[in-house]
Structure 1
Amino acid sequence: MKVSRRSFLGHSAALGALATMPSIAGAHSLLTEPLLDASSRLTATHWGIIRAYVEAGRLARVVPFEKDAFAPSPVIQAFMDRVYSETRVRYPMVRRDFLKNGAKSDRTERGRGDFVRVSWDDALNLVAAELERVKKTHGNTAIHSGSTDWHSVGKLHNSPVLLRRMLGLHGGFVDNTGDFSVAAAMVILPHVIGGTEVYDQQSAWTTVLANTDLVVLWGATLLKNNQIGWEPTDHTAYEAMKALKEKGTPVVSIDPRMTDTAKYFGAEWVAPRPNTDTALMLALAHTLYTEKLYDEKFVETYTVGFKKFLPYLLGTKDGQPKSPEWAEKITTVPADDIRKLARRMAKGRTMIMSGWAIQRQDHGEQSYWMLVTLASMLGQIGLPGGGFGLSYHYANGGSLTARHVALGGISAGENPVAEHVPYARGLSDMLLNPGMTVDFNGEKITYPDIQLIYWAGGNPLSHQMDRNKQIKAWQKPETIIVNEPYWTNTAMFADIVLPANTTFERNDIVSVSEYSGRYVVAMPQLIESQHESMSDFDIFTAISERLGFKDKYTEGKTEMQWVESIYDEAVAAAGKEGLEMPAFNDLWNGDGYFEFPVPEDAKNYVRFGDYRKDPIANALGTPSGKIEIYSFEIEKFGYDDCPPHPTWIEPAEWLGSDKVAKHPLHIISPHPKYRLHSQMDNTWLREVYEVAGREPLWINPDDAKARDINNGDVVRVFNDRGALLAGAIVTDRIRQGVVMLQEGAWYDPDKPGEAGALCKHGNINLVTLDKGTSKLAQGNVANTAIVEVARHKTPAPPVTAFTPPVGA
């Protein structure tokens, strides 16, 4: 079904209360045409549970799950276009020169699209032979599996896990550590609060609605990002957001742009320079302390190290008080406004809801550390409606938690190789600098000499920083193998491409959602595998057979036997908890889902509530058992770029730098509204948001006027790292000096395979900076980059990102 831009946007805005955020409205009202002889089954995706209709063997329509009627994501309407996309990898393909010369091939040919179709037998034999060759010649430390990305949902067809299971049985591989999205957070937060927090349940929305006097959104876009979840999400947060707006709870949004969320709530907009969050938080803390507004008792009872932090805050250590006047020079937020905000936050019950974006910047560890410190000084952590939350913007954090048991899944097994690399830093740096030693969270890591990369379930040639550096790095390994349903950037840069099928073409089962645990959903195969595609499970089973350990890989179970055993294990666990679940056949052949009960006390859940009641019995996982404003553990590391307490450290690139003389605009790259990273970019959804056939770039009217840029113009975005074309949207919803380009657009070089090529379509990572947040976390700094923008005066070249290779 083809849906026009006009009808999509019109129906997406049908839900009046949420009309300012089209991407969450009731777009399913579009889908009213009758289907003759169609059958329907439930299944699940990152965008939630859906009901899929199949007619004459084809996926014909998808509609939201009946219990997801309030705010389902309209993105699901494009699933049919995605399944039957011209960008599907139809057959096993091998790069022509690699097929001829193997490891001695010309690796600079990667990315040029010169592939040859081969049979499955030949492709699988070639993969097995390459794994054996590299193992024999270089050892297992020369094999890397970097896949930890947004693969399809499901407990069996988890492609990164399936890949690791196979490589582990083959003798091991170099793995990565951490998470690309929240790399800095996952390292700093265990030092500060004893856990990662970003994947933990938030205080229930019911407690916020009942108790919160002020919501501070710090780089958090609740309306956009709650569409999705790592596991399927149930969109319950949207009803809470609607209730928050109707109640009239004041909202402050701290962000360089006026987000759809801020616009929906009618929020007060505070627009600091990007990457200056820590300085602004320090000034708020300075006001709380000097005006005696902070909770001294909470700080003394529940935290350690405040007195060692205080000399820095007050300036007795370095001669510079972190006052609002000091912060104004850094952030450009007026000092009086900073003081007023600090007083408002202290006056009543305040909930700070932060997004993950503020830790994706140079020294991103400091922003989260200081945010926890600020919340500690307010003294409301563990109180209903107060404190902080780092996942209200994702997967409906704050939803009510059901009394449930989680589904397990197939195991990745053991990895005999101990070497690992930080995920956000472990691609380009590792490939270009084998043998180099880097710091990471108190340990030294030596980069291995990788000769074979196997990727399944991700698109690193989209999300990794500094594309041109990565292209050079991607020419280093002898062999690159990819399982992929589509001709993504990563597939185009591979030597061997194996066509993987999609969610709708295989059987699986899943839990929904990762915070509430409310449902178990069967995911039956709805249509035949398209073209010659196979599931990742079947692909790795076939490779394992050629390597001599098929029985260990499958444990003697077929796909459906695995699915049933995963469910039956949950049934057994539920029985021990006094929960009754239906038999597998009743679930699979019946309604297709099971709903766990939500206890009444779930409405009263408060994050850190138990810790506040009894900090000894419920000690945190830090060395002290308390919130650590000063970390003696980090002090031992002696890192010059990560002191032992929250600190403002000037970023490598920002608007206060001398570098702005050449590149005067700071570019930020939030997640897209109508995609999941690069997923769904190969569908008609592009018609909804693209400008002149390119990824849209937000630019302030003053900045646009100074560059003779008009709304709808094709513009060139560039710095010393690279250049791309985008379509201009001139808007006062972004502060002067800042431009915004959403990440995830498919890379489309004007000179395929060449470092330095112009991206014709607008992939942000042509201009982003590839460096670690600090020696502590080595996280990505996607939001630390400055550029210049100019109107593209010659005819813009056609976009060819979605054109498969010849013969594919």
Structure 2
Amino acid sequence: MSEKTVSLSRRRFLGGMLTSAAAGMIGPSLITGKAFAAETKAADLTGVTHWGAFRARVVDGKLTEVKPFEKDIFPSDMLMGIRDDLYSPARVRYPMVRLDWLKKRHNSDTTQRGDNRFVRVSWDQALDFFYEELERVQKTYGPAGLYAGHTGWKANGVYHNCIAAMQRAVGLHGTFVKKVGDYSTGAAQVILPRVVGSTEVYAQQTSWPLVMKNAKNIVFWGSDPIKNLQAGWSTPAHDVYGYYKQLKDMVGAGKIRAISIDPVVSDTQAYLGCEQISVNPQTDVPMMLGMAHTMYTEELYDEDFVYDYCEGFDKFVPYLTGESDGQPKTAEWASKICGVSADTIKSLARTCAKERTQFIGGWCVQRMHHGEQWAWMLVVLSAMTGQVGLPGGGFGFGWHYNGAGVPTRNYVKVPGFTGSAPNGKPKYNGDFGKFSKTIPVARFVDSMLEPGKTIDFNGRKVTLPAIKMAIFTGCNPFHHHQDRNRMIQGWQKLETAIAIDHHWTATCRFADIVLPATTSYERNDIDGFGNHSRRGILANRKIVEPLFEARNDIEIFADLCKRFGQEKTFTEGRNEMEWLEHLYTQAQKGAKDKGIKMPSFAEFWGGEGYFEFDKASEKLWVRHEAFRKEPELEALGTPSGLIEIYSEEIAKLGYEDCPAHPTWMEPVERSHGGAGSKKFPLHMQSCHPKDRIHSQLSGAKGLRESYEVAGREPVYMSPADAKARGIKNGDVVRVFNDRGQVLAGAVVSDRYKDGVIRIFEGAWYNPAEGGKIGTLCKNGDPNVLTRDLRSSKLAQATTAHTALVQVEKYTGPALKVTAFDGPEMVKA
């Protein structure tokens, strides 16, 4: 099963899902760029997703056809998974309760969690259980015993926000433990405010027209926008791909030099036809230091910018030159670690210093042990060029997210349903005692296993609460978190776990109470079209009536609130359509203040269901330009108001794993000669997939079958690594280390550097023996193999990309993937 074979299989799937006219348009490449207006009929219903807007055709109450929204000329292939997602066998159909929990409640045998045996109950029974457990936990343990703070990529829509609904309802009952940070950018979002005064990672970037007009070089450092820009937090318009088409032409014509620094040939590199510098995994910081050393010793850096706009460069230089530790950070030194020749490092440093260079940083590189150092060092490199705040120069960490770089229009945003009710007061407002109210999200399993432990986090002490009950909605922590064995141990400490979802994810299988939620296709809502571009507002029409006994989250939590007399406070006395009109009208009022004329709600909803803001209002913009022009009036949010190359505040913290300036520190395990590489020589990447949104759409059979190999998640590896292990395309292989083992289907590809493999995150965990620690995962969940280790005391972030493994051809008994079959329904 080569990459070419996978692509052909994908085309056959897409062709079968679309009408013949549309099938020829979407194809396997996202960058086709064709309109769909001719395919649309007035009767088609609009829908919204994280991967794009669509039109739906319904016959006799069933979804029969999906087409991309005609305003999106670069639609994602993922739209073709919608019908299978809606009608998936993995749908949660009824309220269900784990067998032993039903018998013994909070005294159940928690080692049985994950065995997939559930009893069907009525909605009233399930919500009674839910409420009774809220009461018991608040009375017995107080708010420190309840965790309802986890979040994830909820379904689109401003009203049906499942996380807001859950936190509003649970918050009306009592206070609870919340999380801070996220898994996507955990290290970067903590270090960057201390370096440049803002989180940066989710921010709008310099407008693409200005980049292409002014940049001579674009460096994609661990970033793959072509793959990742398919998705957005609101509904993406995919306008950004038009700029990548232009960039491709400019790269081909030699007008812009594009370089991808990545051990893998990314989709972006393949599309643009740009250069690659194949760095050894986790060694980007030595390469950066080698570049900085070259700029400094050859006097290529912008001395005026460094001293006018930066703080602490003089304290960083002794480390760079080796004066402080005896090791000059030369290109030759860096080359031995990162695998890139010294000449290449020096050449790139000279190019970036002499010519306008836009650094585009991704997020995977900071999801490593000491990931803070990479983000910090990319800022330092850019600062040394003196180009921060110039069009086509400087750094950015959000280019692959939300269509960054597309100019923003004059717009208003439709407000959403919020996580706190106006004038609402909790029934229980207990004392957290010695425990902290908030925890770093990547340490929530630690709270289950080590309650009372005090950890350092970003300059403060956090005492981990003793979590006894956890509620999850619109998220799947059995995809988010690392080290399945440790997770299962933590889950066994919980007395009650509740999951609200529309698919039987592993989180549902490890829950005690599972409630069936609707998909966005089964309810009405409103969403923005275009994220950073703010192109318009879309109606999300209910396409079909809720399947089985699914209910939307607002209904679920309103019914829960009824049990303690807070239903009206929760709903504010409005039903679904009244809420949508209320939220739309709020936006309409804001639009009037901005000189934007919007149709009435009746006209919007009863008409096309789409309103577009004026394209003529787009404004070109340069990130950090205001700071560059007026460093005193537009100071950064750092203590000095400047870019902090050396941080006095971090120095005061005294964290041994996060010094006061960017520093190379060996990760706990590293391939290509690093720690642990003799036993487990392969570095495993587990980056964002290109065929789903994290674990969403895994239940869409046709889409899944277009990329899976041997009926399971693929693992990608180099020809040399495959040959050395006797592995061929299509083989089932065992990927393993001391933390666990998974089965996957081999795809041999010359796009992968020797010593590097990839299993995309989001594969559903499918243990051979449910709930058993150490069991084999049949479906290739990479987090069976990852390490649950902090990035540093500063960020306490995930280190999913610090993972070494070995691969061998699987010769054991045939094991069928059962992750998508739903639960075993039993009688009490």
What is the TM-score of this pair, normalised by structure 2? Answer: 0.94
Change (3 A) 1:24 1:447: farther
Displacement after TM superposition at 1:420 (Å): 3.7
RMSD: 2.3
Q: Could you say which residue in structure 1 is the equivalent of 2:508?
A: 491
Displacement after TM superposition at 1:229 (Å): 0.5
Change (3 A) 1:372 1:674: same
- Of 138-147 and 438-447, deviating more is 138-147
* Residue number among 72, 95, 103 corresponding to 2:106 in the alignment: 103
Q: Could you say which residue in structure 2 is the equivalent of 1:44?
A: 48
Alignment of 1:148-167 (within 5 A): 148-167=151-170
Q: Could you say which residue in structure 2 is the equivalent of 1:7?
A: 12
Q: Could you say which residue in structure 2 is the equivalent of 1:305?
A: 312
Check the 8 A contact 1:157/1:537 in 2, yes or no: yes
SS of equivalent to 2:71: helix
Q: Which amino acid aligns with 1:54?
A: V
Mapped to 1, the partners of 2:34 and 2:618 lie a distance apart of: 33
Alignment of 1:216-227 (within 5 A): 216-227=219-230
Check the 8 A contact 1:146/1:423 in 2, yes or no: no
Check the 8 A contact 2:222/2:365 in 1, yes or no: yes
Displacement after TM superposition at 1:83 (Å): 0.4
* Residue number among 58, 61, 70 corresponding to 2:62 in the alignment: 58
Q: Could you say which residue in structure 2 is the equivalent of 1:715?
A: 733
* Residue number among 201, 204, 207 corresponding to 2:207 in the alignment: 204
Query: 1:283-302 CA deviation, whole Å, 9 max, x = no partner?
Result: 11111111111111111111
Alignment of 1:576-591 (within 5 A): 576-591=593-608
- 1:270 paired with 2:287, answer no
Mapped to 1, the partners of 2:102 and 2:205 lie a distance apart of: 51
Displacement after TM superposition at 1:459 (Å): 0.7
Check the 8 A contact 1:274/1:654 in 2, yes or no: yes
Mapped to 2, the partners of 1:546 and 1:187 lie a distance apart of: 40
Check the 8 A contact 2:36/2:69 in 1, yes or no: no
- 1:543 paired with 2:550, answer no
- 1:243 paired with 2:259, answer no
Q: Could you say which residue in structure 1 is the equivalent of 2:3?
A: none
Change (3 A) 1:24 1:334: same
Displacement after TM superposition at 1:567 (Å): 1.2
- Of 18-27 and 499-508, deviating more is 18-27
Query: 1:355-407 CA deviation, whole Å, 9 max, x = no partner?
Result: 11111001111110000010001111111111112111122111110111222
Mapped to 1, the partners of 2:779 and 2:583 lie a distance apart of: 42
Alignment of 1:96-495 (within 5 A): 96-248=99-251, 249-413=256-420, 419-495=436-512
- 1:632 paired with 2:635, answer no
Q: Which amino acid aligns with 2:500?
A: N
Change (3 A) 1:540 1:360: same
Change (3 A) 1:30 1:333: farther
Displacement after TM superposition at 1:524 (Å): 2.5
Mapped to 2, the partners of 1:517 and 1:179 lie a distance apart of: 24
Change (3 A) 1:725 1:76: same
Q: Could you say which residue in structure 2 is the equivalent of 1:92?
A: 95
SS of equivalent to 2:382: helix
Mapped to 1, the partners of 2:804 and 2:144 lie a distance apart of: 37
- 1:570 paired with 2:587, answer yes
Q: Which amino acid aligns with 1:690?
A: E
SS of equivalent to 2:241: helix
Q: Which amino acid aligns with 1:344?
A: T
Query: 1:476-513 CA deviation, whole Å, 9 max, x = no partner?
Result: 11000110101111000000000000101112112233
Mapped to 1, the partners of 2:448 and 2:395 lie a distance apart of: 39
Q: Which amino acid aligns with 2:563?
A: R
Check the 8 A contact 1:305/1:630 in 2, yes or no: yes
Q: Could you say which residue in structure 2 is the equivalent of 1:700?
A: 718
Change (3 A) 1:731 1:217: same
Work out the percentage of aligned pairs sharing the same amino acid. 48
Query: 1:669-692 CA deviation, whole Å, 9 max, x = no partner?
Result: 111110111111111112211111
Mapped to 1, the partners of 2:188 and 2:529 lie a distance apart of: 24
Displacement after TM superposition at 1:445 (Å): 0.4
Check the 8 A contact 1:18/1:242 in 2, yes or no: no
Q: Could you say which residue in structure 2 is the equivalent of 1:605?
A: 621
Q: Which amino acid aligns with 1:715?
A: V
Q: Which amino acid aligns with 2:70?
A: E
Q: Could you say which residue in structure 2 is the equivalent of 1:615?
A: 631
Mapped to 1, the partners of 2:250 and 2:780 lie a distance apart of: 40
Mapped to 2, the partners of 1:784 and 1:30 lie a distance apart of: 46
Mapped to 2, the partners of 1:28 and 1:581 lie a distance apart of: 25
Displacement after TM superposition at 1:256 (Å): 1.1
Mapped to 2, the partners of 1:804 and 1:448 lie a distance apart of: 33
- 1:802 paired with 2:820, answer yes
Check the 8 A contact 1:256/1:738 in 2, yes or no: yes
Change (3 A) 1:164 1:572: same
* Residue number among 648, 654, 657 corresponding to 2:670 in the alignment: 654
Mapped to 2, the partners of 1:600 and 1:428 lie a distance apart of: 47
* Residue number among 681, 699, 702 corresponding to 1:682 in the alignment: 699
Displacement after TM superposition at 1:169 (Å): 1.0
Mapped to 2, the partners of 1:257 and 1:677 lie a distance apart of: 20
Change (3 A) 1:776 1:17: farther
Mapped to 2, the partners of 1:16 and 1:393 lie a distance apart of: 27
Mapped to 1, the partners of 2:51 and 2:338 lie a distance apart of: 36
Mapped to 1, the partners of 2:617 and 2:90 lie a distance apart of: 48
Q: Could you say which residue in structure 1 is the equivalent of 2:5?
A: none
Check the 8 A contact 2:668/2:675 in 1, yes or no: no
Displacement after TM superposition at 1:549 (Å): 1.1
Q: Could you say which residue in structure 2 is the equivalent of 1:511?
A: 528
Q: Could you say which residue in structure 1 is the equivalent of 2:794?
A: 776
Mapped to 2, the partners of 1:83 and 1:804 lie a distance apart of: 14
* Residue number among 743, 752, 755 corresponding to 2:761 in the alignment: 743
Report the count of equivalent residues.
Answer: 801
Mapped to 2, the partners of 1:46 and 1:580 lie a distance apart of: 27
Displacement after TM superposition at 1:514 (Å): 2.6
Change (3 A) 1:599 1:294: farther
Mapped to 2, the partners of 1:786 and 1:424 lie a distance apart of: 24
- Of 162-171 and 13-22, deviating more is 13-22
Displacement after TM superposition at 1:426 (Å): 2.7
Query: 1:291-343 CA deviation, whole Å, 9 max, x = no partner?
Result: 11111111111111111111111111111111111111110111111011111
Mapped to 2, the partners of 1:150 and 1:24 lie a distance apart of: 25
Check the 8 A contact 2:183/2:480 in 1, yes or no: no
SS of equivalent to 1:373: helix
* Residue number among 772, 783, 786 corresponding to 1:765 in the alignment: 783
Mapped to 2, the partners of 1:437 and 1:87 lie a distance apart of: 40
Query: 1:74-128 CA deviation, whole Å, 9 max, x = no partner?
Result: 1101101110111111100001111111001111111111100011111111111
Q: Could you say which residue in structure 1 is the equivalent of 2:4?
A: none
- Of 786-795 and 432-441, deviating more is 786-795
SS of equivalent to 1:514: coil
Displacement after TM superposition at 1:17 (Å): 14
Displacement after TM superposition at 1:600 (Å): 5.5
Check the 8 A contact 1:9/1:22 in 2, yes or no: no
